[in-house]
């Protein structure tokens, strides 16, 4: 098994999803890639939201309008109808992060937010804490906000809305030690990653987490031809997770719950009615995020829920 490194440079960066993007690397199942990713605002050394900070990378206004993503990486054997397996290894954030409180829509103004403001964080990965300019200290819990394959839709696709391809899921449970399962839509899968987060609560209520560069994002890839999914699924330290995405939270809930029922049925051999009765006792529903136009809900089955 081989290990590769992808650093942020103009050749490896893009700000959209597309089936037409040429892979910057092609690997075999079992190979590992160590990425170093920019913050969502395309910055590495200079903090987001600092006045007069010069751009660190030139951006095409159309091709690079979204998150700063690295890749895509093609995986041999990842064909449409298979599942891409992404095992998350070491995640090490950079030294700084930013959280923005925004007035970009009516919801925030209704919460009493009168202007856009940024909270700046100093990150201390060795100590596992982040400290804001206000003196608040929180525990670091790094994860990648965006991990996705090329979508089924043709043409250039924006990065903010998540979907069946994964993408901007903002799932806080995708920490080191987790495994993400993504349905594959195009040959090679064409996987991209970016949008490092130092910490985030469910919902990502201000629209941002602790947005930070990620010095190390270590991912190991595999392919499952025996597993067919219609929505992303994950095995995390917190438990098994099924994800649903829609502009309607109720529909997102049904998508996540339907996949969780599939998972439980496959494990236990129950009929659908018995499965949903059991799910009502042991499965927890969480709002993943409500800020990307397409909202997210995840169904969580803790590992110790069934004795």
CATH of domain 238-301: 3.10.28.20
CATH fit for domain 3-91+142-224, picks 2.102.10.10, 3.20.20.140, 2.60.120.580, 3.40.630.30: 2.60.120.580
Contact residues for 252 (Cβ-Cβ < 8 A; gap 6+): 244, 245, 246, 295, 296, 297
Interval 120-136: pLDDT, tens: 999 999 999 999 999 99
Residue 52's pLDDT is what? 61
Tens-digit pLDDT profile for residues 199-217: 999 999 999 999 999 999 9
What is the band of 49 on the pLDDT scale with cuts at 50, 70, 90? low
Residues of the chain with pLDDT > 90: what percent? 87
Please provide the average confidence, as pLDDT, over all residues in the chain: 95
Q: Would you place residue 33 in the very low, low, confident or very high pLDDT band (cuts 50, 70, 90)? A: very high
Specify whether the CB–CB gap between 17 and 167 falls below 8 A: yes
- Confidence (pTM): 0.96
- pLDDT greater at residue 12 or residue 45: 12
Query: What average pLDDT does this structure show over 28-42?
Result: 95
What is the structure's pLDDT at 263?
98
Cis status of the peptide bond prior to 72, with omega within 30 of 0? yes
Distance CA 177, CA 173 (A): 10
Q: What is the pLDDT of residue 51?
A: 56
212-231 mean pLDDT: 98
* Residues in CB range of 71: below 8 A, 6 or more apart: 6, 12, 14, 21, 23, 24, 25, 190, 191, 192, 193
Q: Is pLDDT at 48 greater than 70 in this prediction?
A: no
Give the pLDDT score at 113: 84
Same fold, 3-91+142-224 and 238-301: no
| Predicted pLDDT of residue 34 | 98
pLDDT one-digit tens code per residue, 70-122: 999 999 999 999 999 999 999 999 999 999 887 776 778 888 888 888 899 99
| pLDDT-derived band at 138, boundaries 50, 70, 90 | very high
pLDDT digits (tens, 9 = 90+) for 170-198: 999 999 999 999 999 999 999 999 999 99
Question: pLDDT category, 220, cuts 50, 70, 90?
Answer: very high
């Amino acid at each position: 098994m081989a290990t590769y490194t992808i650093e942020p440079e103009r050749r490896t960066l893009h700000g959209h999803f597309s089936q037409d993007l040429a892979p910057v690397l092609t690997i075999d199942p079992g190979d590992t890639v160590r990425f170093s990713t920019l913050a969502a605002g395309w910055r590495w050394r200079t903090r987001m939201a600092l006045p007069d900070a010069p751009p660190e990378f030139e951006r095409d206004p159309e091709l690079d309008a979204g998150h700063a993503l690295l890749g895509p990486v093609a995986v041999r054997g990842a064909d449409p109808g298979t599942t891409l397996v992404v095992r998350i290894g070491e995640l090490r954030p950079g030294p700084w992060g930013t959280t923005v409180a925004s007035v970009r829509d009516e919801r925030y103004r209704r919460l009493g937010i009168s202007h856009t403001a940024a909270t700046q964080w100093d990150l201390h990965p060795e100590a596992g804490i982040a400290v804001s300019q206000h003196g608040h200290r929180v525990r670091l819990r790094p994860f990648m906000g965006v991990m996705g394959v090329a979508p089924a839709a043709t043409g250039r696709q924006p990065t903010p809305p998540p979907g069946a391809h994964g993408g901007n899921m903002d799932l806080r449970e995708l920490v080191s030690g987790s495994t993400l399962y993504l349905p594959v839509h195009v040959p090679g899968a064409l996987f991209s990653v970016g949008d490092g987060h130092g910490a985030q609560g469910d919902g990502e209520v201000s629209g941002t987490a602790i947005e930070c560069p990620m010095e190390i994002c270590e991912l190991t890839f595999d392919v499952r031809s025996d597993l067919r999914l219609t929505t992303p699924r994950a095995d995390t330290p917190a438990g098994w997770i099924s994800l649903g995405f829609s502009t309607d939270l109720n529909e997102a809930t049904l998508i996540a719950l339907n996949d969780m029922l599939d998972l439980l049925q496959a494990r236990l051999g129950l009929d659908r009615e018995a499965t949903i009765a059991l799910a009502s006792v042991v499965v927890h529903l969480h709002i993943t995020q409500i800020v990307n136009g397409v909202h997210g809900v995840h169904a969580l089955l803790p590992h110790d829920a069934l004795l």
